[in-house]
Structure 1
């Protein structure tokens, strides 16, 4: 019973982050399952099984809040579904050890992407800066779906910053559109795993916990999109993903002495906390400047 409650809490927190930042649920869930020793293909299949109800509820909630651009939705969701199906097929046909290294490495990369984006305002994923928006939507969706399936997460870290670059939408509309499209991607990825019989061995109790927490939190996250402090939340999530998957890789390579392992984890947690605190102060200062600018009286031109 405690496992169900623990994963419900984890699913709720992951969905809160995903629903407000546009990324985090899949990366966080897959990292935890991989850390528990679940096989990579099973971890990704379990994560996407949990995504089916959570992304559906999240998408509907964002739709109700007016956070979705319907013109962009299908243009990114359909290529995402194709990329996701292909990624699921690829992951079910590579060796267990290769898959574990690939998934942990990819999750660390996306953890660094999230950490750098929200902690320092930097971008580790190059996004298109020129050209017509429509031209870039299909490649963004295709790449996002493929890495989402092969890494157990990655749709949000690829799609959200890319749409923020190639569209002029405010963040809440990008987050809402990405969340709604993720349901289509999750359906396709799950079908891809079913064809590869990856559904066998899925730890359904943790999945049910993730679903319960995610479904409860999805409408709340949609309402809070654009209102919560993004920088510290994103920084903490990115740091957590890097730490968890770093431990997974070190363990797979034979591990290091226990005292050194604990010391590195504590140091990583301390660095993450410091960066998150600074990111929070930076975001508060930026919001105050934006508020002051909005409230400043317009300059009166001479007649």
Structure 2
């Protein structure tokens, strides 16, 4: 049994992390890894988690937290008939395969690979937020046909699982680029999140099993203290961020979130030097 002081320290750090993540999630409307992973990274660093497993732990824990939120969101959107079930059925293999492959990368690739992926993808998302022309770009009038469609599903599963997000940002971008309404894209992304998070959870538990340097109460690359604490604290704090968001215009929110992602991306790039 680890010292009580170590447990208390980790709990306090994660409570603070959950508060920050919840505030940012409410402010920017994002509840996935784009917020959780960098906040976790700082908290686990302060708790003394070894660098060799820190990033993998952040990603695995983030994806575990996404499971209940994605399921609840999917259920709500499905009842309203907003989900593109045809797309989800076509992606029922491609997306989970991509997500599982990401857990292999997390388990065996150097931490620098995961950091690089997170830094690059958040940089691209930031560019989309900051430059309106990218957000309005259209690549086609409808979704591509198989096998290209399967390739996109695999890529979304792979990249999302690798950086610990539920796929919403990438899938929203993909669907709107191909002329689908944003509401449908958001609703469908909740189902994509389930297809990513569930297989990733099992893959990250297996991939991190028995690894040295993991903090207390971790099963593979999933820390249960974080999972148990973060979900209620983010749900409590997120409305505060949402109230702040209503004081800003949509464009101000996009710019603010873009700048936030630029800072996070730069933070991870600096750790690679």
The two structures have a TM-score, normalised by structure 2, of 0.72
Equivalent residue for 2:117, pick from 106, 121, 143? 106
1:51 aligns with 2:66: yes
SS at structure 2 position matched to 1:177: helix
Q: Deviations over 1:141-177 (max 9, x none)?
A: 1001111122223723322111112243x21111110
Matched, 1:28 2:39: no
Q: Is the 8 A contact 2:167 2:192 kept in 1?
A: no
Tell which deviates more after alignment, 107-116 or 137-146: 107-116
Query: Is residue 93 from structure 1 mapped to residue 105 from structure 2 by the alignment?
Result: no
In the alignment, structure 1 residue 163 sits paired with structure 2 residue 175: yes
- Count of paired positions: 237
Aligned residue number for residue 255 of structure 2: 235
Instruction: Tell me the residue number matched to 1:191.
Output: 202
Q: CA RMSD in A?
A: 3.3
CA contact (8 A) 1:88 1:149 kept: yes
Q: Post-superposition shift, 1:137?
A: 3.0
- Separation in structure 2 between the aligned mates of residue 138 and residue 127 of structure 1, nearest angstrom: 19
User: Hey, what does 1:75 align to over in structure 2?
Assistant: 90
8 Å Cα contact 1:113/1:157 also seen in 2: no
Consecutive unaligned residues of structure 1, counting only runs of 5 or more, are: 220-227, 254-303
Find the residue that maps to 2:149 and give its secondary structure. Answer: helix
Segment drifting more, 102-111 vs 209-218: 209-218
Residue 225 of structure 2, aligned match among 191, 202, 205: 205
- Higher Cα Rg: structure 1 or 2? 1
- Structure 2: give runs of 5+ residues left out of the alignment: 1-10, 210-218, 240-247
Give the SS at the match of 2:140.
Answer: coil
Q: For 1:211 and 1:242, how far apart are their aligned partners in 2?
A: 26
Please name the residue that 2:7 is paired with.
none
Supply the distance in 2 between the matched residues of 1:193 and 1:8 (Cα, whole angstroms): 21
